[in-house]
Every structure is written in C-alpha cells, then in structure tokens.
Amino acid sequence: NTVLAKKIATLQLRLAPLVPLPEGPPHPDFPKTLMAFHLLTEDQLDSIAHYYHQSTPHRFTHHYPATMNWDKDQADDIQGSSRNPYANLSDKERIRIKRRKVGKFIGLVGMETPIEEVTGRVQASIDRAVERSREELRR
C-alpha cells in the first residue's frame, strides 16, 4: 500500500533539536521524529513550553525564531472557568492546541492558528478585562 508507506516515511522524518537560550541541551523529551512529536503527552508539551521559556515570561521568551504564545491564563481558564469559551474543550482538543503551538514553535508546517481559536482568545481576554474592571468598581 503506497499511501501507508508514504505516511510511515513521513512519520519517520527526523526533527532537528532546538537548544534553549542562552545555552544547554535540547529538552529531554524533544521529539526526534515526527511520530514522536505526535505522541507527546500534555505533561511533556507543558514541560517543553516551560523549558524553552514560553509558558512563563522570561528575558529569552521572544529571542527564539518563533514564540508559542503560550498563554498561562488561557491554560488555567481552559481547565477551570465556565465563562471562558475554552472551558468546554475536551482533553483531546486542549492537547491538540498545545501540540499545534509546540509544532509551530519548532518549525513544523501546517500548524497555523485556526480563526476560531483566535476569536476565542480575544473574547476570553475581553471577558477577563471586564471582570477585573467590575472588581475594581466594587472596591
């Protein structure tokens, strides 16, 4: 089956490791192949984002060729807030978003952010700002 053989060959493609700034070895879970990338767990994705200064603001966050735009508030909202459009995401959908962000960060093609996600992030940001303003007015 040529389609299957092509898919297997694609998944066996080797990925170039990314070293952290200012120096150091690649993350221990940095995927060596495209298959390994698709098998990363949520904990591994979170750990990679942190290792490369993407989940917690750092002086090196924006010095990489790309950023993950790993919004820690969004990640918290995804898991906890009922007013957030991300709150109803399944584990699979949440991991898919994180995997896409890591993939884009390491230079994989086809990892563009869907417009629905951008719209949801903007709305969530507006909702947080409105809530903060309401809290300020109550004080």
pLDDT tens string 82-109: 455 456 678 898 899 999 999 999 999 9
**Per-residue pLDDT at 103:** 96
Residue 44, phi then psi, degrees to nearest 5? -65, -40
Query: What span, in angstroms and rounded, lies between the C-alpha atoms of 133 and 131?
Result: 5
Residue 6 has pLDDT above 90, yes or no: yes
Q: What percent of the chain is modeled with pLDDT above 70? A: 87
As a whole number, mean pLDDT of residues 18-24 equals 94
**Residue 96: what pLDDT?**
92
Please state the pTM of the whole predicted model: 0.76
